[in-house]
Amino acid sequence: MIRFDHFMAQANNAFYAAHDPFADFVTAPELTQVFGELLGAWAKIVWQMMGSPPGLIIAEAGPGRGTLMADLLRVFPAPQIHLIETSLRLRAEQAKRLPHAIWHETLDTIPHQPLILIANEFLDALPVRQFIRRETGWMERHVENAAYVEIPSDFVSDDPIGSVREINEPALAFITALARRRAIALFIDYGAATGAAAETVQAIHAGQYANPLANPGAADITAHVDFLALAQAAQAAGAATQGPIPQNRFLTALGLFQRTDALAQKNPARTENLKRSARRLTAPEAMGTLFKAFALCPQNFPALPGFEKIEPQKC
């Protein structure tokens, strides 16, 4: 028998070590180069807002194939690129696009220099503990023989009977560490802003939803991000947060459609694909509102690009 978060961590480590995750799903950087280019412009402006300090490190957590960072560097060719990646197979893919990057297992080994960190669909893959309230009290889910086993827990919450709470301890620790370093970080991921009780764990295998407990290591297991819990952790560690705001509002403010149109004019054969990708990133029924942009920064830092008060535009 194993606690669910330990099961999820082991299953995902095995999955990313042996599988190409992009055969099962597509992420924003793989849809369009515009996504990474906009984040490059974002990072450059943020660096200027920091006072253009020397020794800046641009880091990415969960960099996939390295596509996002490669696109970012076309706009902001920062000299120091650090990647947090545990999969040796993915590191080899990243090295094809980012031969001068420096790799890390964790945030801890990144030098203590001015830091801007970007993470797209990173937090959702970190393992969550699952608690469910029964009539007898709160129970924590464990896994045994591809089935849930519930063990009494001292977890406390006033949610009604039947409620499920998911606690992402690695995400909370990651945010706390960034806050203590006075880093600026941008997270783009899916989840709710309210922190309400919900069961969100899901698994994707071959592009289809699958049983998270079946065939560990054969599917990508994720859970929605609890942005409220992350904000509370960051603030408790002395940082400020901005957002979360819907992805469509954030990318529109950064100029997604203008950059897409400019690329389409230079590459008419790509016009339909570019516009289709922009719609997928922003349409409410696609990635536009489920995905959120959430930022961490030092207290009293000005509004970061994309987080100013604007009216969201239709796709």
3-state secondary structure the chain: CEEHHHHHHHHHHHHHHHCCHHHCCCCHHHHCHHHHHHHHHHHHHHHHHCCCCCCCEEEEECCCCCHHHHHHHHHCCCCEEEEECCCHHHHHHHHHHCCCCEEECCHHHCCCCCEEEEEECCHHHCCCEEEEEECCEEEEEEEECCEEEEEECCCCCCCCCCCEEEECHHHHHHHHHHHHCCCEEEEEEEEECCCCCCCCCEEEECCEEECCCCCCCCCEEECCEEHHHHHHHHHHCCEEEEEEEEHHHHHHHHCHHHHHHHHHHHCHHHHHHHHHHHHHHHCCCCCCCCEEEEEEEECCCCCCCCCCCCCCCCC
* pLDDT score recorded for residue 178: 98
- CA-based R_g, the chain, Å: 20
* pLDDT score recorded for residue 23: 67
Task: Tell me the residue range of the domain where 91 lies.
Answer: 14-127+167-198+223-298
Is residue 145, in this structure, part of any structural domain at all?
A: no
* pLDDT score recorded for residue 139: 98
Is residue 292, in this structure, part of any structural domain at all?
A: yes
How many whole angstroms separate alpha carbon 50 and alpha carbon 287?
30
Is residue 180, in this structure, part of any structural domain at all?
A: yes
- Output the tens digit of pLDDT for each of the chain's 315 residues: 999 999 999 999 999 988 877 766 789 999 999 999 999 999 999 999 999 999 999 999 999 999 999 999 999 999 999 999 999 999 999 999 999 999 999 999 999 999 999 999 999 999 999 999 999 999 999 999 999 999 999 999 999 999 999 999 999 999 999 999 999 999 999 998 888 899 999 999 888 899 999 999 999 999 999 999 999 999 999 999 999 999 999 999 999 999 999 999 999 999 999 999 999 999 999 999 999 999 999 999 999 999 986 443 333
* pLDDT score recorded for residue 315: 30
Q: How many domains does the chain have?
A: 1
Is residue 265, in this structure, part of any structural domain at all?
A: yes
Is residue 8, in this structure, part of any structural domain at all?
A: no
Is residue 90, in this structure, part of any structural domain at all?
A: yes
**pTM for the complete prediction?**
0.95
Is residue 63, in this structure, part of any structural domain at all?
A: yes
Is residue 253, in this structure, part of any structural domain at all?
A: yes
CATH number where 292 lies: 3.40.50.12710
